[in-house]
Amino acid sequence: MKNCDWDAITLAQYLDGELAPDQASRMEQHISDCPHCSAEVSVLVSMKRSLRAADRHFTPTAEFRRKIQQQVSRPQSKWNMRFVWAFAMLAVVLILSIVWLVRSRRVDTFSEVADLHVSTLASTNPVDVISTDRHTVKPWFQGRIPFSFNLPELAGTEFTLLGGRVVYLHQQPGAQLIFTVRQHKISVLIYRESAGLAGDLTDGNVERRHAFNVAAWKTQDLRFIVIGDVDVDEIRKLTQLIQIANK
């Protein structure tokens, strides 16, 4: 039975990044400690990812667009000219829909990254390989993802490596590494660079996006994303450590 003060609406607001930073930070800690809310968050995240997958599945095909364009451009006799406008309007709607889909998928990158981070916080088993030793975590990924990366030396820093797991972003396999600083968790996601993977994330600087700070950059053929609700300076410090390790 639920015995906490958080409700489903507040959980949904947290997932959508609508909570104030201090409230979001309290929610993160609460999710880690409350089995009921952890389960609720897992269900909500799964639902959001399923809806995105359905959106991609039912995208109009190139063949469908070609047929519509042929119908619009084909010479029409006088008796059916009234249908030209109908086809033209349909083509306009189709083009606008395609533009909207492309834009929404770009924006989706941050949402998917945030969902991966939140689902990790809510999970009772956030990592598949549990170790603070980078020489144990890195080899675990060999054969599980189609690339290699380096982990930073954390001795003398405020960060601790918890472990990692294989996750998918835009249907591409990648690594999710979990670091802690004080009581907070930070996700580092690593993928092969591909068109559209960066999405709406700006390379270089740390950005405040809703309840999270996030940094993204490209090194050689890999895309790195760091996300957490910690201070900008802590995201920047961890980012610099990872960049140095992967030069």
Q: Is the pLDDT of residue 107 over 50?
A: no
CATH architecture assignment, domain 8-53+104-245? 2-Layer Sandwich (3.30)
Q: Is the pLDDT of residue 3 over 60?
A: no
Q: Is the pLDDT of residue 175 over 60?
A: yes
DSSP class of residue 152?
P
Q: Is the pLDDT of residue 205 over 70?
A: yes
Q: How far apart, in Å, do the first and last CA atoms of the chain sit?
A: 50
3-state secondary structure of 196: coil
3-state secondary structure of 129: strand
Q: Is the pLDDT of residue 172 over 80?
A: yes
Q: Is the pLDDT of residue 82 over 60?
A: no
Higher pLDDT: 93 or 18? It is 18
Mean model confidence pLDDT for the chain: 77
User: Tokens 């990254």 — which residue?
Assistant: 113
pLDDT recorded at residue 174:
93
Task: Kindly state the average pLDDT of the residues 119-126.
Answer: 83
Q: Is the pLDDT of residue 106 over 50?
A: no
Bridge partners, residue 215, by sequence: 226
pLDDT recorded at residue 89:
56
84 vs 39, 72, 89, 199, CA distance in Å? 53, 6, 9, 37
Contact 10, 19 (CB under 8 A): yes
Separation of alpha carbons 3 and 10, rounded Å: 15
Contact 142, 148 (CB under 8 A): yes
